[in-house]
Amino acid sequence: MKWIVLIISILIFNAVAILMRKRLKISEIYATVAVALLLDLLVDVYASFRFKAWGFFEVEKAEFSVILILFGIYPAVATMIINWYPYKSVWKLKLGYLIGWAVFSTAYEWLTVKVGILWHINWNLFYSLVMYPFIYYMLILHVRMYRRIMAINGTQ
């Protein structure tokens, strides 16, 4: 069942990310997704092996199949989050957007725990629900920082 959920997730998330109307430049998306993957890898390694908080598939193992999650799901979801973010809206709408993604992500995390893609030991879904808005806002801050750097370089 976990492989069916994983493959369907990869197909759906990537189809949406590829087919959606892009509101950001490809360079903004690429740079932000690259930074997100780097940070995620660092956090996941410590969470899995140092703190035994969460991990993928089997506890105490670094599995090749995690690459499917890292490159099949994370970039597509990060692309959707930064692309659809209401950059020019009021703060309440921005906060609601981040909370909406946090709720969706926590529900998806619950599904992945139930089917065995993800495990939690020293972690629970409430922690994820609280952390996701901050994590996603870091992606938004990266987009803004990237734009400023490009403007300083005169390449925007």
**What's the pLDDT at 156?**
63
Domain of residue 88: give its range.
Answer: 2-153
pLDDT in tens, 44-62: 887 887 778 888 887 776 7
pLDDT in tens, 123-143: 999 999 999 999 999 999 999
**What's the pLDDT at 37?**
95
In total, how many domains does the chain have? 1
> Does residue 120 sit in helix, strand or coil?
strand
Q: How would you label 119-132 residue by residue, b for 16+ Cβ within 10 Å and e otherwise?
A: bbeebeeeebbeeb
pLDDT in tens, 4-47: 999 999 999 999 999 999 999 999 999 999 999 999 988 888 78
The whole-number average pLDDT for the span 59-83 is: 89
Rounded CA separation 48/53 (Å): 6
